[in-house]
Chains A and B, each alone.
Chain A
């Protein structure tokens, strides 16, 4: 496989990995605060349809992306209200949020089916974008691809090095201790949930504006669930989410290219299993190997917080 065939494949991988990365990094922050939001798929769909509708309506993709981010936040606030304030079960509420998102996105989108939209423009960086091979690979993308990587870097720094990140982790590891030394657990969790909603909304916008610039119902096709799996796959670490998204996207795309190349003698069904096999293998390795102790889910994940007083 030479560079002429490798390069387009890598570009396809980047496009496939970006929505996974965006949704997973948001969910990671939510889960780090101790909240499990299974509504990612629903928030992505609502983000996708809102981004599409606003872009068609205003002609501005940037406004579409911003609207999608707010739509994701709005939906996540519904989740926050139910689980954090009213203390509903997080798993049930998250599932309900996904089902709600599927329904409401279909409703909003029904008049947009069959309407095309201009693909999100590539940010052309004079000089850099024109370098052969590296130019298109590193500097030939739209704004959301860069945003996905930038958000990952910021989240990694935030969780590791910032004081606010430390508080967020404390809330996720031991809500009672954080509460007893004076942190507002519910407020921190609200913010984390909202960040998750924002990222899911943007991930949806990427689907309907760049990946496949159209609105069709259920267009996430399970990517929200893959993003959820990615967070566990990455053992709640931002850099591993980045790697995981690209591995997952990469294996999926590689098998499509291998099928197109033909004659490798492996049945297509086996090839389609590859991404899932890879997930199982990586999960087995990281949970059984010397890294075992580090497979650490936040201790309070999914548990409602009831202050003792």
Chain B
């Protein structure tokens, strides 16, 4: 079951935390020493997905600051006790800014942060801040709304497949955004979800895609990190959407678009703040507007008029006229969860533990 999460309780803690931070520059030995920045990754840098995206961000920091910074990363670190060991190691090695880039690193990050009050921590996709722990996340659901529009418009069978990783609000949010926007153009569309309980297992991701396609799905979307599902889509002659990176090379015909993560600008901003001594804890949740994510160029399977309507949705999200979770939104039982015209608040989104109508899981 999905654990309900109340973000607001933590935001209070985060606000109180701002007071204690005015001393960023004090603990840098001298200007000549490079700022050491550590990264911890859940997958391999060569996954061509999530971790690959974060590593591009790390490289952007290196390219921007050159000798002023020294970055290190540790890849393939399992969420849980092992993560704590690695984060602690990064801190004892003298890294002053540490990016922990997976949801499951939340508790280990906070625990280590307590022991190293002078080290700054940045936790991706989490919701708990501390005086020296900031969180940052991307509004992936904005990209998924556009994807839902494309999928709903292009599906012939009305069945859209969704390969899901682990049941956390982040993933549920993506499933719901896809379903809501697919059903706006195709009211009977169904989003079939298969959970593989892993972020990264190319073989199993591909098997899940086969299972979905064999059951009548003709568009594959995913919240897992390898290009395997898209490749299966290409082999089987159905359509799909890339995840985290532009995966067109694996599916030149099948890829409609891809939700591409862009962590570089944020990492540069935060490294700059650490260098300047202005780093403070913060809670950043940016989307298409701020460029935290982008959509890869449309594939050939997307006709011109559909490109236009998808771009209009994208533009609406960017200028704020469209919020992907605007009511009426019903849950699977048909009960209205978001009233007509109301917009789902960020706190409710981050604790999302229910499916919208049209999701079959």
* Chain A contacts to B: CB under 8 angstroms: 5, 8-9, 12, 15-16, 19, 102, 106, 109-110, 113-116, 119, 207, 211-219, 221-223, 252-253, 256-257, 259-263, 267-269, 272
Contact A9 B214 (CB under 8 A): yes
Let me know if B44 is at the binding interface, CB within 8 A. yes
Nearest CB to that of B361 among chain A residues? A262
Chain B residues, CB < 8 A from A207: 202-203
Our pick among A19, A212, A216, A260 for the contact of B46 (Cβ within 8 Å) is: A216
Stretch of B91-99, B226-234, B272-280 contacting A (4+ beta carbons < 8 Å): B226-234
Contact A257 B215 (CB under 8 A): yes
Our pick among B46, B204, B249 for the contact of A116 (Cβ within 8 Å) is: B249
Given contacts A16-B207, A109-B46, A218-B43, contact A262 B192 (CB under 8 A): yes
Contact A219 B202 (CB under 8 A): yes
Contact B196 A110 (CB under 8 A): no
Chain B residues, CB < 8 A from A16: 203, 207
Mark each residue of chain B from 209 to 229: 1 if its CB lies under 8 Å from any CB of chain A, else 0. 011101101000000001110
Per the bound structure, the CA–CA distance linking A207 and B226 in Å amounts to 14
Contact B45 A256 (CB under 8 A): no
Let me know if B235 is at the binding interface, CB within 8 A. yes
Contact A268 B197 (CB under 8 A): yes
Chain B residues, CB < 8 A from A116: 231, 249-250
Let me know if B194 is at the binding interface, CB within 8 A. yes
Chain B residues, CB < 8 A from A260: 161, 192, 194, 208, 211-212, 214-215, 217
Let me know if B331 is at the binding interface, CB within 8 A. no
Our pick among A214, A218, A262 for the contact of B200 (Cβ within 8 Å) is: A218
Contact A106 B214 (CB under 8 A): no
Contact B235 A212 (CB under 8 A): no
Our pick among A212, A223, A256, A262 for the contact of B231 (Cβ within 8 Å) is: A212
Interface size range of chain B in the complex: 35 or more
Contact A216 B226 (CB under 8 A): yes
User: How many whole Å from A223's CB to the nearest CB in chain B?
Assistant: 7
Our pick among B46, B193, B249 for the contact of A217 (Cβ within 8 Å) is: B46
Chain A residues, CB < 8 A from B210: 8, 12
User: How many whole Å from A196's CB to the nearest CB in chain B?
Assistant: 21
Contact B207 A252 (CB under 8 A): yes
Our pick among A9, A19, A212, A252 for the contact of B206 (Cβ within 8 Å) is: A212
Given contacts A213-B231, A221-B202, contact A9 B211 (CB under 8 A): yes
Contact A216 B211 (CB under 8 A): no
Given contacts A9-B211, A110-B46, A114-B249, contact A259 B206 (CB under 8 A): no
Nearest CB to that of A257 among chain B residues? B211
Chain A residues, CB < 8 A from B197: 268-269, 272
Nearest CB to that of A215 among chain B residues? B46
Let me know if B304 is at the binding interface, CB within 8 A. no
Per the bound structure, the CA–CA distance linking A223 and B207 in Å amounts to 14
Contact A267 B1 (CB under 8 A): yes
Contact A12 B193 (CB under 8 A): no
Chain B residues, CB < 8 A from A222: 201
Given A216-B46, A216-B227, A223-B203, 4 more A-B residue pairs with CB atoms under 8 Å apart are A212-B202, A217-B43, A217-B46, A259-B211
Given contacts A116-B231, A214-B250, contact A106 B46 (CB under 8 A): yes
Nearest CB to that of A12 among chain B residues? B210
Chain B residues, CB < 8 A from A213: 231
Per the bound structure, the CA–CA distance linking A78 and B45 in Å amounts to 27
Nearest CB to that of A110 among chain B residues? B46
Mark each residue of chain B from 171 to 190: 1 if its CB lies under 8 Å from any CB of chain A, else 0. 00000000000000000000
User: How many whole Å from A17's CB to the nearest CB in chain B?
Assistant: 11
Let me know if B198 is at the binding interface, CB within 8 A. yes
Let me know if B116 is at the binding interface, CB within 8 A. no
Nearest CB to that of A218 among chain B residues? B44
Contact residues, B262-301 vs A (CB, 8 A): none
Our pick among A114, A252, A263, A268 for the contact of B48 (Cβ within 8 Å) is: A114
Let me know if B360 is at the binding interface, CB within 8 A. yes
Contact B196 A216 (CB under 8 A): no
Nearest CB to that of B359 among chain A residues? A262
Chain B residues, CB < 8 A from A110: 46
Our pick among B167, B195, B203, B250 for the contact of A259 (Cβ within 8 Å) is: B195
Our pick among B1, B48, B194, B215 for the contact of A5 (Cβ within 8 Å) is: B215
Our pick among A102, A109, A256 for the contact of B211 (Cβ within 8 Å) is: A256
Let me know if B309 is at the binding interface, CB within 8 A. no
User: How many whole Å from A145's CB to the nearest CB in chain B?
Assistant: 15
Chain B residues, CB < 8 A from A259: 193-195, 211, 361
Let me know if B23 is at the binding interface, CB within 8 A. no
Contact B206 A268 (CB under 8 A): no
Chain A residues, CB < 8 A from B167: 268-269
Interface centre among A214, A260, A262 (most CB of B within 10 A): A260
Nearest CB to that of A267 among chain B residues? B1
Contact residues, B29-47 vs A (CB, 8 A): 43-47
Report, nearest first, the 4 A-B pairs whose CB atoms are least far apart.
A217-B44, A217-B46, A268-B195, A262-B360
Nearest CB to that of A19 among chain B residues? B203
Contact B249 A221 (CB under 8 A): no
